[in-house]
């Protein structure tokens, strides 16, 4: 019940933060120990930020926030203990079914996001390939060579040092090298579009890659990249490290 636990903990924190001096029990000296109104406001806001991060991180999309508030208030006002048989009858929806309900909701959101990104990606690539400067490989990778570089081209098993920036179709930067310091990659361990694209230029070369989803992170996506996302990379290849296969060691007991 992982999702339920997150919601329950958040609601419990709100219950604590909501305890102001008004209506509180105890003597004046004890009441003075309660958080001040400004502290309650700050804690409440930070809990909202935390909850917002959880909502956004799970790609819940636009939610009915009045229902979120209602659910939290209902939990705070609920009588008894979650261990009691009738505890969950106090709610509009049984919190014990939360994982099932949210899983179905998230899966539908994922299907929609995936289909939308595929639709947008296909439209973008169709328009992009019509530009004079864009070339297309047999796999569907689109690219534009800014500078071809020298004759030292990497192969798929080689190591490359690059400066790069990766963006989504909306212009959002999801990854990039920092401070002009080249990043090292082994081509055989990167997405297919990168692997293929980097072999098209030599050391000192620069290229723009337009990578279809099937040559990127596909229908599952990855952290910070939604399913079926088309990716755009600006890459400068600063160095190529050629792969050298290790010599086979002679068997023990045999002369060289």
The pLDDT, as a whole number, for residue 1 is 35
3-class secondary structure, 230: coil
Report the pLDDT averaged over residues 2-24: 51
- What number does CATH give the domain 131-241? 3.10.50.40
Q: What pLDDT, on a 0 to 100 scale, did the predictor assign at position 59?
A: 77
Residue 2 has pLDDT above 50, yes or no: no
Let me know the angle formed at the C-alpha of 51 by 50 and 54, rounded to the nearest 5 degrees: 90
- What distance in Å separates the CA atoms of residue 43 and residue 212, rounded to the nearest whole number? 44
> Which residue, chain included where needed, has tokens 């639709």?
119
Count Cα neighbours of 248 within 13 Å in the Cβ-side half-sphere. 3
- On the 0-12 / 13-18 / 19+ scale of CB atoms within 10 A, 117 is buried
Provide the pLDDT confidence category of residue 121 given band limits of 50, 70 and 90. Answer: very high
Predicted pLDDT of residue 7: 53
Residues 123-171 pLDDT 10s: 999 999 999 999 999 999 999 999 999 999 999 899 999 999 999 999 9
Confidence band for 194, pLDDT divided at 50, 70 and 90: very high
Q: How are beta strands 159-167 and 173-176 bridged, if at all?
A: antiparallel
- Residue 248 confidence (pLDDT): 61
One-character DSSP codes across 169-226: TTS-EEEE--TTPPEEEEGGGS-HHHHHHHTTS-TT-EEEEEE-GGGTTTTT-BTTB-
The pLDDT, as a whole number, for residue 113 is 92
Query: What is the pLDDT at residue 23?
Result: 63
Could you state, in order of their start, the residue ranges of all structural domains in the chain? Answer: 2-92, 131-241
> Residues 105-122: what's their mean pLDDT?
93
User: Is it the case that residue 71 has pLDDT exceeding 90?
Assistant: no
CB-CB contact of 215 with 147 (8 Å):
no
Given a cut of 80, whether residue 65 has pLDDT beyond it is: yes
pTM over 0.75: no
CB atoms within 10 A of CB 234: 16
Percentage of the chain exceeding pLDDT 90 = 48
Contact predicate 216/193, CB 8 Å: yes
């Amino acid at each position: 019940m992982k999702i339920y636990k997150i919601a329950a903990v958040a609601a419990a924190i709100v219950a604590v933060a909501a305890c102001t001096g008004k209506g509180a029990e105890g003597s004046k000296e004890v009441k003075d120990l309660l958080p001040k109104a400004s502290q309650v406001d700050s804690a409440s806001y930070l809990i909202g930020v935390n909850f917002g991060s959880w909502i956004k991180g799970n790609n819940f999309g636009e939610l009915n926030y009045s229902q979120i508030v209602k659910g939290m208030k209902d939990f705070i006002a609920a009588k008894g203990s979650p261990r009691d048989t009738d505890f969950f009858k106090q709610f509009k929806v049984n919190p014990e079914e939360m994982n099932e309900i949210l899983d179905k909701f998230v899966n539908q959101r994922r299907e929609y996001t995936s289909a939308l990104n595929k639709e947008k990606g296909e439209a973008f690539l169709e328009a992009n390939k019509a530009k004079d400067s864009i070339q297309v490989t047999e796999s569907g990778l689109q690219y534009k060579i800014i500078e071809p570089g020298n004759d030292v081209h990497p192969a798929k098993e080689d190591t490359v040092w690059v400066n790069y920036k990766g963006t989504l179709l909306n212009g959002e930067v999801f990854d990039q090298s920092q401070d002009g310091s080249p990043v090292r990659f082994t081509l055989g361990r990167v997405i297919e579009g990168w692997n293929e694209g980097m072999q098209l230029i030599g050391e000192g070369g620069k290229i723009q890659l337009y990578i279809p989803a099937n040559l990127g992170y596909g229908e599952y996506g990855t952290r910070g990249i939604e399913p079926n996302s088309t990716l755009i990379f600006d890459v400068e290849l600063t160095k190529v490290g050629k792969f050298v296969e290790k010599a086979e060691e002679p068997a023990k007991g045999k002369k060289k």
